[in-house]
Structure 1
Amino acid sequence: MENQREVQISAEMTPNPNTLKFNVDRLLIESGSYDFPDRAKAEASYLASELFDIAGVEGVFIGTSFITVSKQTEKMWQDLAPTLIEKLKAVLNSDKEIVSKDAVPSANDTSGSSEIEQKIRAVLDTEIRPAVARDGGDIIFYGYKDGIVTLHLQGACSSCPSSIMTLKMGVENRLKQIVPEIREVVQV
């Protein structure tokens, strides 16, 4: 068995005061992301289940090389962060599977997309999703109909106080520049 070095983890604040992003020095999943907004959904991930065992954890989001943890408002990061880092190291240094093979990734099916939907997805994938991932979140495209784009915010973005501003001023404005047919961007 290969002797693997201990995982290195750094914590980073996000625009959402109730969400902390933990960057790790290795690939956690090949691509996409997994959102575990509650304990029941976390059953598909050993890592997420372990984090939900910590009092105050409200959500877990797993990206390719980061984990975003959302906490209850009344909990303080200075109390939670050391326990979270300890638990992350224990799980990531073990041979346990991060996410089960049965887990469904957040990204949705792209088959059957119209030309407008393909343009929207291209902007989301090349410009918007990478920027949102830096803040510990993700944006998933749900659909386009009659000029309305439907998106779902995950991770740090799902409960962020500035998420509506990001959606309207950032995402909506950028998508309208590329696809003039868009009238509005809404969140589900």
Structure 2
Amino acid sequence: MNTFKVSVQETTNNAIVKFEVNAFITKHQSFEFNNIDEAKPSPLAQQLFYLPFVKKVYISGNFIAVERYNILEWSDVQDEVAQQIEDYLNDGGIVIEDTVQAKKVPVTVYAESTPNPAVMKFVANKKIVTTLFEFTSIDEAKLSPLATELFHFPFVKSVFIDENYVSITKYDIAEWQDITNQLREFIRNFIENGKDVVLPEAAESLKKTSPQKDTYFETLDDVSKEIINILEEYVKPAVASDGGNIQFISYDAETKNVSVMLQGACSGCPSSTYTLKSGIENMLKQMLPGKVAMVEAING
């Protein structure tokens, strides 16, 4: 079964295209290669340099950026290059030799309180996932080695992972002052040792890849699309800073009711109901006059 998927992302420089992978392909390291000799530590980069138009290869986190010579346009070859990278990864091809990858990269993790007293946010200085994930039990966490190990702590109730942080909801049996340092060090060591936070197939299995989300978006009615765009632009950045997420579930054109799911620190937060009614509901009513009557929340 193919687990790696590669999508083409344009950049502001028309000579450079990013090939984004649905999983991390380096252990929180970045590499830049200017020619095939420099690329000896990376069999993948060496293979790309066999293409006559490749000028420079940059590998980092979950993407490969390639700069081209001006002998052709990216639009002529980018899909073929994306397929070549995808096939290479799914055939077990080596991205960076282990001897290079073995070096540990210093990772820092700090704890940050959230508006929800049951939730603490642990923020890393590295991107740790390509999309957000929430796990409310060890059974759900099979696709996340980090979440699975966190559930072995008896006080961990749920785990929410986004770009560069992990939000942990605890049971009342423990106080944060007694467990925060233990969790912070555990998460830091886990990331620093280059372990998979989530498995490569997690995003696709849970329908969280960019193409899957785009396909779903296109099936929605116009009002639902407008609601999602408003939530993405005005609401999500604020709730992400609090260690949570808000996800659109549905819109009923007859009742004009909007259903959303609150995740991470927002789930079960004492202030979330107030935020929902006074903030999000009012915003949608103002920006979509006559189209929204009420916003109701489902806790993740």
The structure 1 residue matched to 2:268, chosen from 138, 143, 159, is 159
Q: What residue in structure 2 maps to residue 8 of structure 1?
A: 108
> Contact (CA 8 Å) 1:34, 1:105: kept in 2 or not?
no
Deviates more, 1:100-109 or 1:64-73: 100-109
Distance, in Å, in 2 between the alignment partners of 1:105 and 1:11 is 30
Instruction: Give 1:187 shift.
Output: 1.2
1:166 Cα offset (Å): 1.2
Tell me the distance in 2 between the aligned counterparts of 1:112 and 1:132.
26
Contact 1:106 1:140 in 2 (8 A): no
Which amino acid letter does the alignment assign opposite residue 161 of structure 1?
Answer: P
Rounded to whole Å, the distance in 2 between the matches of 1:68 and 1:105 is 21
SS at match of 1:98: coil
User: Which 4+ stretches in 1 moved above 6 angstroms?
Assistant: none
Name 2:244's counterpart in structure 1: 137
- The match for 2:295 is 185
Question: Among the aligned pairs, what percent are the same residue?
Answer: 34
Question: In the TM superposition, what whole-angstrom CA distance separates every residue of 1:84-104 from its partner, at most 9, and x where no partner exists?
Answer: 012101210123211123322
Give per-residue Cα distances to partners, 1:118-149, cap 9 Å, x unaligned: 11011100110110000000001011012011
Q: Which whole-Å deviations, capped at 9, do the CAs of 1:18-69 have from their partners, x for residues lacking one? A: 1000111000112x31001122111110111111111201010000011100
| Aligned match for 2:187, one of 75, 84, 88 | 88
Q: Does the Cα contact within 8 Å between 2:245 and 2:263 map onto a contact in 1?
A: yes
Q: Is the 8 A contact 1:28 1:98 kept in 2?
A: yes
**Relative to structure 2, which stretch is displaced further, 103-112 or 89-98?**
103-112
Count of aligned pairs: 187
Cross-structure match for 1:50 = 149
> Offset at 1:73?
2.0
> How many angstroms apart in 2 are the aligned matches of 1:63 and 1:40?
19
Return the structure number with greater relative CO, CA threshold 8 A, min gap 6.
1
Return the alpha-carbon distance in structure 1 between the equivalents of residues 269 and 200 of structure 2.
30
Given the alignment, which residue of 263, 270, 281 partners 1:172? 281
* Match in the other structure for 1:20: 120
Q: Distance in 2 between matches of 1:21 and 1:186?
A: 25
Distance 1:26 1:129, change over 3 A: same
Contact 1:50 1:87 in 2 (8 A): no
Partner AA of 2:197 in structure 1: I
TM-score (norm 1): 0.94
Unaligned runs of 5+ in 2: 1-99
How many Å separate the matches in 2 of 1:177 and 1:80?
43
Contact 1:28 / 1:65 at 8 angstroms: preserved in 2? yes
- Among candidates 228, 252, 257, match of residue 121 of structure 1: 228
Q: Is the 8 A contact 2:104 2:193 kept in 1?
A: no
**Range that drifts further, 9-18 or 157-166:** 157-166
What is the DSSP-based 3-state SS (H/G/I as helix, E as strand, rest coil) of the residue aligned with 1:110?
helix
CA RMSD of aligned residues (A): 1.5
Aligned equivalents of 1:105, 1:57: Cα separation in 2: 25
Which structure 1 residue ranges, 5 or more long, are not aligned? none
Tell me the CA shift for residue 105 of structure 1.
Answer: 5.9
Worse-matched range after superposition: 1-10 or 126-135: 1-10
Q: Alignment partner for residue 148 of structure 1, among 246, 257, 261?
A: 257
